[in-house]
Amino acid sequence: MMSVESFEQYPFFKPKEERTILFMTRLWDYTARRDDVNEQRKHINKTRIEAIKALKNEFGSAFYGGIFPNKMSEKYPDLILSRFDTQKCNYIKRLRSSSICIATTGLHNSIGWKMAEYVAASKCIISESLQYNVAGNFIKGVNYLEYTDVETLISSVHKLLDDDDLYFNMQISNYRYYNEYLRPDSLMLNLIAKVKNLI
């Protein structure tokens, strides 16, 4: 099991030509479930596939990503990641060396766990719209850029490639947010403080 320290990283400036984009994700099975759940899973799968194809097409070798191997990914053999790259230790190495990370909405409109991993690693983040509030000041345009479709996704990546200040300040903002709100010890201290205020 990986420790949280495996993900932790200081902000690190890279010139534009060295910045890389990461989006490793999975597809969900949408068979033998309630119709509304199936439809949501189909939509999640569709948007993830569209995003990967668009990122590969636009950014070429600066982009690394694809889908984890499972039954649902068999329809997209050209997008399947190797089992070597999807091993946790290798994924963490890839994450730590990447500059811009893509996050998508999870099941039941949840915030995917990768978001926390990206924040812990002080990465620039581009995410689908967040459906839930999080603790502290996790701010659109500061901690992450939001996208709603393939066009806004590609546009957001270009912003982080072209704007050095936005790129580096977002890393710093996520480093601060992680240490103030997301680190396990900070989580506990913030929880204790909230409970004390309620007593």
pLDDT in tens, 25-79: 999 988 867 888 889 999 999 999 999 999 999 999 999 999 999 989 999 999 9
Number of helices and strands (H, E) in the chain?
7, 5
Backbone angles phi, psi at 24, to 5 degrees: -110, 125
Q: What is the side-by-side strand order in the sheet with 124-128?
A: 63-67, 21-25, 100-103, 124-128, 145-147
Length of the chain equals: 199
Give me 171's structure tokens. Answer: 């890393």
C-alpha–C-alpha distance, residues 86 and 92, integer Å: 9
Q: State the pLDDT at residue 106.
A: 84
pTM, full prediction: 0.89
